[in-house]
Structures are given as C-alpha cells and as structure tokens.
Amino acid sequence: MNEKWTWLPDFASDMGIWEDDLVGIAPDAEHVFVAYEKMVSVLDDIYGLPDLAKASTVVGWGFGAFVLLKNAPNRPKNQKWILLSPYADYCSEHSEWNNENLSFIAHQTKTAVDATLNAFYELIENEFGEWQDDWMKAAKAINPEALYKGLSYIAKNRIDAPVPITAETQVLYGRMDGAVPPAMTLELKEFMPGVEFKERPKAGHWPPLLLF
C-alpha cells in the first residue's frame, strides 16, 4: 500500500502552489493538500479531518505546524511529522508581533484585508524563490473570515508545555526566514526534547527550499 502524505498550510497559504515540486519528496505516495479554509474550520480538532488521521506522514508549515503541535495528544501512533518553520509563540520576543497588535490586525481583516496581507507580504518580500506574488494571489482568494479565525487563533494560543512525541518528528527551518525567524523555531526545543532540529542555511520560509 502506498504511503499517504497530508500537507497543512501556513497562514493565508495554499501549498498546492508547489505541488509538482513537493510530491517529489515521496513520488510514490498519495498526497493531500489541505485547503487553508478547511484547516481553520477544525483548529481545535484537526484530527477530525479524515485525511489527516489516516496519513502516514504529515507536513505542517508555519501555522499548520503550530496547529499540529496544539493537537499533539490526538496524533495517531507511528504517524511521522515534518514541521517546517514551526513556532511555540508567534507573539514571542523574537517576533514582529505582540498579542495586542496581532489581535488588532486579525479584526482588521474583516474590513481591510489588503492591509493585513500586505503586512505579511513585507516579511517575505525579500525571500529567495520569487513565490511572493503567487502567495499573495492565493491569499487574496481566501475568505476574510477564515483569515480572521487563523490570526485570532495564533494570537490567543502558544506552546507552553511539553509536546507528546510518539513517533518520528523532524523540524526544518531556514536561516533566512523572515516570517518565522530561527529564534522563534528554536524556542520549541524546550518543549520537544529529543526531536531533531535541522537548519537550512540557504533557505527562507518557502517549503520547497526547506525540504530539498
């Protein structure tokens, strides 16, 4: 039986942009790319998604990785995780944001979505890979209410206790990441002892550069 891989996106993102590249990591597997709007509809019960519960490997990127970590007690036995640019607290001292201004910008998405997306675009505009405009196009197609739900969740939640690790878990992060600086990812080491953290020296935030 072929392996089943499920991919969880970052905030306001569509990992299908890189589908042709990403499936190359396991060309014989069945791949499911979860839509951002579908993910934010089950943030407190992500394993309610049938594709996720049945996956042999789950790749979570940024916000998607954070959601996985928050739902770790429900992780199926032997399910492998690959976490790309994860974080313990998006409003930590190493972040561009604090809880107050991230909550404000979350509410702003309901009336001025372009201002919100532009604020995040500024974090990635100098990234290698030149996928910034593809990201923005995909982000603008997302329902503003879903953007609000995602940002509100990020602002209100953090990892502040040990994460149960029941199977192989890998953390990959880019030295040049502007959206999730390495220091934010490394804060997770306190809560994930024994997990492999691997820096990609020439990568930023984009999944293809983190994985290959």
Q: How do beta strands 4-8 and 57-61 pair?
A: parallel
Domain edges within the chain: 4-211
SS3 199: strand
Kindly report the CATH number that applies to the domain delimited by 4-211: 3.40.50.1820
**How many residues comprise the chain?**
212
SS3 211: helix
pLDDT by residue, tens only, the chain of 212 residues: 589 999 999 999 999 999 999 999 999 999 999 999 999 999 999 999 988 999 999 999 999 999 999 999 999 999 999 999 999 999 999 998 999 999 999 999 989 999 999 999 999 999 988 899 999 999 999 999 999 999 999 999 999 999 999 999 999 999 999 999 999 999 999 999 999 999 999 999 999 999 99
- Amino acid making up residue 113: V
